[in-house]
Structure 1
Amino acid sequence: MAALLAAAADPAYPADIALVLSNKPDAAGLATAAAAGVATATVASRGRDRAGFEAAMQAVLEAHGIEIVALAGFMRVLTPGFVAAWEGRMINIHPSLLPCFPGLDTHARALEAGVRLHGCTVHLVTPGVDEGPILAQAAVPVRPDDTEARLGARVLAEEHRLYPAALAWLAAGRVRLEGGRAIVDAPAATGSLVNPLATASGAG
């Protein structure tokens, strides 16, 4: 969230962060947003059924004229009805290269699986958890001496770069859906990333 606030501070950025909403009144992001002059709101989930909670969220979002929802650290599964109301206008970032490792504990699972590349994914939100059309991904090499914390820190650095870029594409109208896939009007990637990386002598 802080990375999105920082990106949106640039007048050239195509989106304004108009509201930061949380279901937890003590969420650190609320104080960060308030310090940046961004409106905040809390909609408590405890003591409400899912329908009541989401109806209250929807009312707050509408009252603030929200056009796009960017989830950041929001750890509740949303109902198909709420997701449908924001179809194509709600995005999420996940700390793995989806479709690998949906859900929780992604860094530990990546290390256990012995993958050579790990990373993060920005995707449109659909009713299935971590299943929506992919907008963008960033990868980092997995090192032989990695711990969950070290690997997670490198992935987080990429999240902070990737999420603002993907939100900018969506806000600028550069994303469209075709056959269940997200097509992004952005420069095409070239080259390749291979891991293990070549050694200094060129072998690898």
Structure 2
Amino acid sequence: MPLRVVVLVSGSGTNLQALLDAAGPAAYPDGAPYAVVAVGADRPGIEALARAERAGISTFTHRVSDFAHRAAWDAALTESVAGFEPDLVVLAGFLKLVGDTFLASFGGRLVNTHPALSPAFPGMHAPADALAYGVKVTGCTLFVVDAGVDTGPILAQAAVVVQEDDTVETLHERIKTEERRMLVGAVERIAREGFSVEGRTVRFG
């Protein structure tokens, strides 16, 4: 059976699309090692949900503002994701921090991308922070989510050279290109080999 993957999104869904394309019949005529079984979002009407719907994938939406408090939103998100029995949950541009209930249910099989070479430049403005600091190389990281902000054990990284004429936008676009490649490669490897976490060390197989 392919690895069952639920993807959580907040925006255009380019990482989601990369996962869908890589698992398509053109790449795997006899069946891919993983399958995106559902896509969830924190707001309606976004392109990422439209991508999922065009691919015939189940979707769901939970807006934080629809709940009395953040813990209730987290519980509802947990219940919706659990209903699809995922082996892996991928935060693909998901702009909300999940809470204790979600981590208790999916910790150790919840991964996220970050547009920097962790532990450098955590937070929402990593490409801008990298440019401001004057680094010559930055990149992207795929990590196992923990209770911190971009602090979890590292699954994969890819480097991106900073050009002298880079703006935040041009740098971020090149990072995103590498991010998609890194994410797809890592999910394919997880599907074939699995992984374990010992302290801060992630081991495939």
CA offsets, 1:58-109, max 9 Å, x none?
2212222222110011111112332132111100011000000000111111
1:2 aligns to 2:17 (yes or no): yes
- Take 1:115 and 1:68, find their aligned partners in 2: how far apart are those partners? 33
- Take 1:45 and 1:2, find their aligned partners in 2: how far apart are those partners? 25
Does 139-148 or 54-63 show the bigger shift? 54-63
- Take 1:50 and 1:130, find their aligned partners in 2: how far apart are those partners? 20
Residue 19 of structure 1: CA displacement? 0.2
Percent identity of equivalent pairs? 38
In the TM superposition, what are the counterparts of 1:40-51 in structure 2 within 5 Å?
40-48=59-67, 49-51=69-71
1:103 aligns to 2:103 (yes or no): no
Q: Secondary structure at the match of 1:172?
A: helix
- Take 2:32 and 2:184, find their aligned partners in 1: how far apart are those partners? 9
Structure 2 runs not aligned, ≥5 long: 1-15
Give the AA of the match of 1:108: A
Does 79-88 or 116-125 show the bigger shift? 79-88
1:65 aligns to 2:85 (yes or no): yes
- Take 2:153 and 2:185, find their aligned partners in 1: how far apart are those partners? 16
1:128 aligns to 2:148 (yes or no): yes
Give the AA of the match of 2:192: A
Residue 167 of structure 1: CA displacement? 1.5
- Higher relative CO (Cα under 8 Å, sequence separation at least 6) belongs to 2
Does 52-61 or 99-108 show the bigger shift? 52-61
Structure 1 runs not aligned, ≥5 long: 186-204
1:83 aligns to 2:103 (yes or no): yes
Q: TM-score, normalized by length of structure 1?
A: 0.85
Please provide the CA RMSD for this pair.
1.4
Q: Secondary structure at the match of 1:69?
A: strand
Count of paired positions: 185
CA offsets, 1:5-40, max 9 Å, x none?
111224343210000100101121000111111111
More strand by percentage: 2
Q: What is the aligned partner in structure 2 of residue 176 from structure 1?
A: 196
1:29 to 48, 63, 67: 48
Does 76-85 or 118-127 show the bigger shift? 76-85
Q: What is the aligned partner in structure 2 of residue 114 from structure 1?
A: 134
The 8 Å contact of residues 68 and 171 in structure 1, kept in 2 or not, is answered as: no
Q: What is the aligned partner in structure 2 of residue 53 from structure 1?
A: 73
Q: TM-score, normalized by length of structure 2?
A: 0.85
Residue 146 of structure 1: CA displacement? 0.9
Q: Secondary structure at the match of 2:65?
A: coil
Q: Secondary structure at the match of 2:36?
A: coil
